[in-house]
Amino acid sequence: MTELTNYLINLPTLEIVGLVSGIGCVWLLIKENIWTFPVGLIYAAVSVVIFAQGKLYADVMLNAYYVGMNAYGWYYWLYGGQRSVGNHLPISRMPFSLIPSLAVITVIGALGMGWTLDTITDASLPYWDSVTTCGSFLAMWMTARKYIENWFVWLFVDIISTVIYLAKGIELYSILYALYTVMAILGWIKWKRNFSSNR
């Protein structure tokens, strides 16, 4: 019991804040609750500091992007898109015409970012970090636009991120992303049900 108590006392405070706000953010997203975005802002700000300490520079850029995209998503869910009854932004499908170009941009971005970080920084796991970062760029934009397919991209990112953070010794974030993996599946199921019932 003493070892467990000591372990809990010595957990990094920022990682705990990141864990709690991260879970809260995704839980609210699954429920289509607008408060996902302010909670996401807290998560993103804390994560910038954590990943800078771990020299995961692509993740630092990603979470700086999350700050802006959480603000954009907050605005878009309140005022953008085609409104439904009760001034609610409905879940929609991403236009098929966007998929090829976004896939190419994401792959090129990941390769370019990985090469840059590998060449000019002391980044750890630069290519894998860049894959999850560019995938997350795409997934966050899709989330802000309320496209149902965002959950597939998040699932891909979450699985890889879980392994990266475990390898880097950022245990709480590894646990967080393992939970995100499960939550992405739950999010897809719930959004699919809501999407089908609104058609």
Q: What is the pLDDT of residue 84?
A: 61
Mean pLDDT, to the nearest integer, of 107-129?
92
Task: Tell which wins on pLDDT, 80 or 45.
Answer: 45
pLDDT value at position 25?
Answer: 94
CA separation (Å) from 96 to 34, 102, 106, 189?
26, 10, 16, 21
Would you say residue 6 has pLDDT above 70? no
Band of residue 61 on the pLDDT scale cut at 50, 70, 90:
confident
Q: Provide the percentage of residues in the chain whose pLDDT is more than 70.
A: 89
pTM of full prediction above 0.85: no
CA distance 174 to 34: 26
- Place 86 in a pLDDT band, splitting at 50, 70 and 90: low
Going by pLDDT thresholds of 50, 70 and 90, the confidence category of residue 79 is confident
> Which of 7-21, 104-118, 163-177 shows the highest mean pLDDT?
104-118
pLDDT score, position 7 = 47
Share of the chain above pLDDT 90, in %: 55
- The rounded distance, in Å, linking the Cα atoms of 186 and 192 is 10
Give me the chain's average pLDDT, please: 87
